[in-house]
Amino acid sequence: MGAAARTAVVVGTAGRVSRRQQQKYAAQDQGAQQQAAEAAAPVEAAGGGVDDAAAEIQQLAQLKEQGLLTEEEFAAKKKQILGI
């Protein structure tokens, strides 16, 4: 019975640790997405124009390099900026 009890404690602890890590990573992902949205907001409010579009794409590329945007998010936003 002692081995079964130890196993139950280990499994319970592992489950709690796993849930905590998932919550932590979800919070980090949410924070990164919020930062990316806040960083893109001033550029979106700046208006249109070739220079503005280039600056916005450059800023999005920096966010992608920092790991705050995925390749898919970058490509979608770039298409939206270029009107493709």
Please provide the distance, in angstroms rounded to a whole number, between the alpha carbons at the two ends of the chain: 66
Rounded to whole angstroms, the Cα distance separating 74 from 70 reads: 6
Residue-wise pLDDT for 13-69, tens only, equals 666 777 787 877 777 777 677 777 776 665 444 455 668 888 999 999 999 999 888
Rounded to whole angstroms, the Cα distance separating 66 from 44 reads: 20
Q: Where are the domains of the chain?
A: 2-82
**Short-list 48, 78, 49, CA closest to 62:** 78
Question: What is the structure's pLDDT at 47?
Answer: 52
Q: Is 59:40 a contact under the CB 8 Å cutoff?
A: yes
Q: How many residues does the chain have?
A: 84
Rounded to whole angstroms, the Cα distance separating 7 from 76 reads: 48
